[in-house]
Amino acid sequence: QQNIPKEETLDHSAALLREGYLFISNRMKKFQSDLFETRVMGKKVVCITGEEAARVFYNTEFFKRKGAAPYRVQQSLFGVNAIQTKDDAEHLNRKQMFMSVMTSSHEKELADMTKNQWDSVSRRWEQSDEVVLFDEAKEVLCRVACRWAGVLLHNTEVKKRAEDFYAMVDAFGAIGPRHWEGRMARNRTEAWIKDMIKKVRRGTLKVDSHSVIHQMAFYKDAEGNQLDPRMAAIELINVLRPIVAIANYITFSALALHEHPEYTHILHSRNKQYLEYFVHEVRRYYPFGPFLGAIVRKDFVWANYPFKKGQLVFLDIYGTNHDPRIWEEPDRFKPERFRGWDGNLYNFIPQGGGDPASGHRCPGEGITIEVMKATLDFLVNKIEYDVPDQDLSYSLVRMPSMVRSGFVMNHIRRL
């Protein structure tokens, strides 16, 4: 235990804000270790990285989630007491409901709706001087998500609702105004969706019985109780918000295409498999989720470290996706690296690790992949555009990161 690297000074919250996505991997490199102890936000935290770390982190014998997510993150990103904070039977029961609305036919339906939306907005683009892809994507995905889920969305409110959905995501690594904007966005969105849930329950708003809103409104927990209307709204928002968040990956995809034009002709051939390699590489290479937190459930030893019940542990997502033991030349964008990838559940974890049905891994990974593929196909095969001078950089410090300019396109031609 003497050899376990520890950061000696008092609290490293400032360093976390200063170093962002690289906070954990910088220290792993310095200590030449898979594990170190530090203090953030007044708490001792054990940080772990890599495939074996992900494997232990998703072992529910050793870790639970209750108590891991800071209240400020629940008030902005997740919603208070949402699925992300649940364990055991309560988690599994609720997760089953999420999984049941995210089957491959739902993924296909969402991908088709996304294609149609791009086709429709690109008619307007031909008449525009320039468009900002990130802003367009948020609106397209907000329309798609709401229509798919059975949520009523008037044309006049699309922009505002789309901004609110993204503001909740944008708040997760923030202190100060960006955090408060996320909270206000959440309050507005919860009030809007809660009202709709009540109407669906009363029958004053008729929706398809297979729709996500119907499923959420009438879902019963293991004891046979319906969620209170606010909780049902929070969980429905847990489906809508992350679909809008795919806008960030879409913008990174456009950046990747721009910086690696050699892939355009490969993707021109509509090579379906290659679309997937490209989308995987975007999710591996670019920063979005930095790390995840969980609480030690019982004392155990891993990597010679005695984990103690109640301890907070961070699993490094960004670092694992850039771990040189897993990825050759991790800091190069190389979609073809996924050609031989075996679908390992613990070494590629942009949306969490393990089995989504039994653990906390993102249930929306298939949706993310299909929506991204549909969009990439649109960008490569359905339009041509120019990319004017702009700031295409992105930060590894600001969390969440994004392309600074939002990716401006002009001279757009439909093919």
Q: Which residues are annotated as a binding site for heme?
A: 362
- CA atoms of 35 and 306, how far apart (whole Å): 12
Q: Residue 7 or residue 370: which is nearer to ligand HEM going by CB?
A: 370
Q: Residue 263 or residue 288: which is nearer to ligand HEM going by CB?
A: 288
- CA atoms of 354 and 360, how far apart (whole Å): 8
Q: Residue 249 or residue 385: which is nearer to ligand HEM going by CB?
A: 249
Q: Residue 280 or residue 360: which is nearer to ligand HEM going by CB?
A: 360
Q: Using CB under 6 A as the criterion, which residues of the chain lie in contact with ligand HEM when the complex forms?
A: 83-84, 95, 98, 238-239, 242-243, 245-246, 249, 288-289, 292, 350-352, 360-364, 367-368
Residue numbers in the known binding site are: 362
* Closest by Cα among 368, 382, 369, 123 to 270: 382
Q: Residue 237 or residue 267: which is nearer to ligand HEM going by CB?
A: 237
Q: Is the dihedral of CA 256, 260, 261, 262 positive or negative?
A: negative
CB-based closest residue to ligand HEM? 364
Per-residue three-class SS string for 43-110: EEEEEECCHHHHHHHCCCCCEECCCCCCHHHHHHHHCCCCHHHCCHHHHHHHHHHHHHCCCHHHHHHH
- CA atoms of 382 and 55, how far apart (whole Å): 41
CA atoms within 13 A on the CB side of 53: 29
Contacts of 72 (CB under 8 A, 6+ apart): 179
